[in-house]
Amino acid sequence: MTKRRVAFGLLVVLVFLMRPAWTHARAAALLLRFSQDDVHGVASFGAHDVDDEVIDLPALGFAGGAPARKGDSIRGRMYTPRGVSDAPGMVVCHGVHHLGIDEPRMMKFARAIASAGIVVFTPELKELADYRIDKTTIQTIGHAAVALGARVHRSGVGVLGLSFAGGLALMAAADAEYAHAIDFVVAVGAHDDLERVARFFVTDVIAEPGGGELHLHAHDYGAVVLVHMYAQSFFSARDVPNARDALRLWLWEKFDEAREAAKKLTPEGQEKIALVFDHREDVLRPEIERVIAAHADEMKHVSPHESLAGLRARVFLLHGEGDTVIPASETRWLVRDAPDGTIARAVVSRAIVHVDLEGTPTWNERYDIVHLLAGVIDAANAEAPSGN
């Protein structure tokens, strides 16, 4: 048994002594189930067995529960806790990853939440699975929240978004078409301004809301995603399809296959994609910055920064202190940009590495996350069944 596990086990004991102990103990056990940091079976506290299935959930419109369009549905995976009547619901949204709802960490995370007595639906977000941050995803998240609310007979549900899905989830909650269906949002490692984050990918510098700057070496992944998103701006029309295929393979960490696919490009295209693969942002920076400027208006449409005026849901923000994909400064921007009274809790912690529970946190940092999760559990159970 490691010292880390013993320490976390003692933390669970402590939260039992606090008030409200029940919710905090459930939150601590939930965190243990996700991290697999169990001590003497503590993670089983309050846990339910979970059934899961891939389904097509009918998409419902704003008024009267009518279909958004005849035959519309949202493909996703439903996680249902056994033996729980009138369970609340939560839409859990994957980040930018080609496996989407089938990504193992995502499935583990959704199952852990469902084991706390919450019906979880993970919608397939096709754009994010294709490494594209697109406003269509906002609509899918919103429709998923409306549809899940009808399924669990609640007037509202929660939405949890990982990485860029966190920012898009906040935008769905601020949209008048979906706001009525979203009671709270949990954004983990979310962005506030896509343009600001995109510039960070090639400069290693990002603005803080207080006027300062955060200097941090950006993860190499970010620039590759950016070039893939706007491949038409980096490559000739002839090279775009093959460039996207090669970049996609690179993002899938199939590096040898990516280099082989890149041989289909013209000599000019091969030269440029080699710079991307070799992470030569120092050479590519002027061109990338021009592309960012050219797509700035498009980026605003997928950025919460100036789009949260309609937000009424309670918001829980969680971010890794050393996140090199989306820096923690973005969560501090979200705290500033969200309407007054909407931020329930915001935690920036060394216990998180982007959207993974890792690091070497202090007891206080561990408890901060438990306290945030306790608030999420309370929020999920606050809305009474609608009686439909």
Establish if 388 belongs to a structural domain.
no
Establish if 271 belongs to a structural domain.
yes
The answer on 252 and 144 residing in a single domain is no
Q: Which of 36-45, 202-211, 220-229 has the lowest mean pLDDT?
A: 36-45
The answer on 94 and 236 residing in a single domain is no
Q: Pick from 250, 265, 300: which residue ends a domain?
A: 300
The answer on 156 and 41 residing in a single domain is yes
Establish if 128 belongs to a structural domain.
yes
**Which helix (H) or strand (E) covers residue 121, if one does?**
strand 119-123
Q: Pick from 251, 282, 300: which residue ends a domain?
A: 300
Q: What is the pLDDT of residue 15?
A: 46
Mean pLDDT for 93-97 is 94
The string of DSSP codes covering 96-108 is S-TTGGG-HHHHH
Contact 106, 188 (CB under 8 A): no
The answer on 186 and 152 residing in a single domain is yes
Q: Which of 100-114, 164-178, 258-272 has the lowest mean pLDDT?
A: 100-114
The answer on 128 and 57 residing in a single domain is yes
The answer on 201 and 176 residing in a single domain is no
Domain limits for position 72: 3-190+307-382
Mean pLDDT for 41-56 is 73
The answer on 50 and 126 residing in a single domain is yes
Q: What is the pLDDT of residue 109?
A: 86
pLDDT digits (tens, 9 = 90+) for 344-381: 999 998 777 654 555 556 667 777 887 788 788 888 88
Contact 57, 147 (CB under 8 A): yes
Establish if 241 belongs to a structural domain.
yes
Mean pLDDT, all residues of the chain: 85
Q: Which of 16-20, 142-146, 363-367 has the lowest mean pLDDT?
A: 16-20
Position 67 confidence tier, pLDDT thresholds 50, 70, 90: very low
Selected residue with higher pLDDT from 64 and 294: 294
CA nearest to 327, candidates 246, 218, 185, 226: 218
Establish if 317 belongs to a structural domain.
yes
Considering its fold, how many domains does the chain have in total? 2
Q: Pick from 270, 300, 330: which residue ends a domain?
A: 300
**For the whole model, what pTM was predicted?**
0.86
